[in-house]
């Protein structure tokens, strides 16, 4: 996966990756982080509540609902095929803190529920990367397959809605949710 990032950077004419913000400690969200850090020297950051899982090479799935149970079977197989390396973060940031010191005009919003330290990256232009707080099967919705604490999810959605993002990306979708549609999203 690091090859995808590097080739995209090459395409953009960039070779100055400074920071890798991990939205949460799940297999499919940090498996390439350590290698990418080796190759670029970028610093790796994460919310403190997921830092321990990241350092242990863990990927806590919590309590699945609906067909989220399939991940309980798939993840161990995926780890056998491609082991998940432990990643010691270079830094952690709490809710509301800025990444400006790491070269990025963005703040972190703590949006837990999917995992304890799930966070949203909110850029200065209002673009939000909500990661797996949101799902996008057929249309955008609050996470409904995997959570370590289901009760935290509605408050996390409201926390992000209160920040008035101009557009929001779910973790597994390339299509932005416009800000006015995101505000209408229910819990």
In whole angstroms, give the CA distance from residue 66 to residue 150. Answer: 13
| Residue 132 is a binding residue for Zn ion (CB under 5 A) | yes
Q: Minimum Å distance from CB 118 to Zn ion? A: 8
* String marking each residue 57-76 x if it binds Zn ion according to CB under 5 A: --------------------
Token pair 């797996």 is found at 132
In whole angstroms, give the CA distance from residue 152 to residue 23. Answer: 16
* String marking each residue 19-58 x if it binds Zn ion according to CB under 5 A: -------x--------------------------------
Q: Minimum Å distance from CB 22 to Zn ion? A: 11
Distance of CA 52 to the CA centre of its chain: 16
* Torsion, Cα of 119, 112, 24, 40 (10° steps): 20
Burial class (CB in 10 A: 0-12, 13-18, 19+), 130: buried
Pick between residue 1 and residue 41 the one whose CB is nearest to Zn ion. Answer: 1
Q: Minimum Å distance from CB 92 to Zn ion? A: 18
Distances (CA, A) of 16 to 13, 34, 93, 102, 182: 9, 16, 22, 12, 32
Q: Minimum Å distance from CB 132 to Zn ion? A: 4
Stretch that binds Zn ion, among 42-50, 56-64, 124-132, 150-158 (CB under 5 A): 124-132
Q: Minimum Å distance from CB 32 to Zn ion? A: 15
What residue ranges bind Zn ion (CB under 5 A)?
Answer: 26, 132
């Amino acid at each position: 996966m690091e090859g995808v990032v590097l080739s995209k950077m090459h395409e953009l004419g960039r070779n100055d990756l400074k920071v890798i913000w991990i939205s949460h400690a799940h297999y499919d969200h940090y498996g390439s982080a350590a290698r990418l850090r080796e190759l670029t020297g970028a610093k790796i950051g994460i919310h403190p509540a997921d830092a321990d899982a990241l350092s242990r090479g863990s990927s806590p799935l919590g309590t699945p609902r609906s067909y989220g149970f399939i991940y309980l079977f798939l993840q161990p197989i995926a780890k056998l095929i491609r082991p998940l390396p432990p990643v010691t973060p270079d830094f952690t940031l709490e809710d509301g803190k800025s990444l400006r010191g790491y070269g990025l005009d963005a703040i972190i919003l703590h949006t837990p529920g999917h995992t304890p330290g799930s966070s949203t990256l909110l850029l200065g232009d209002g673009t939000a990367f909500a990661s797996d707080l949101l799902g996008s099967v057929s249309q955008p919705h609050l996470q409904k397959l995997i959570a370590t604490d289901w009760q935290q999810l509605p408050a996390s959605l409201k926390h992000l809605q209160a920040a008035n993002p101009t557009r929001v990306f779910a973790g597994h979708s390339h299509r932005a949710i416009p800000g006015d549609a995101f505000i209408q999203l229910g819990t």
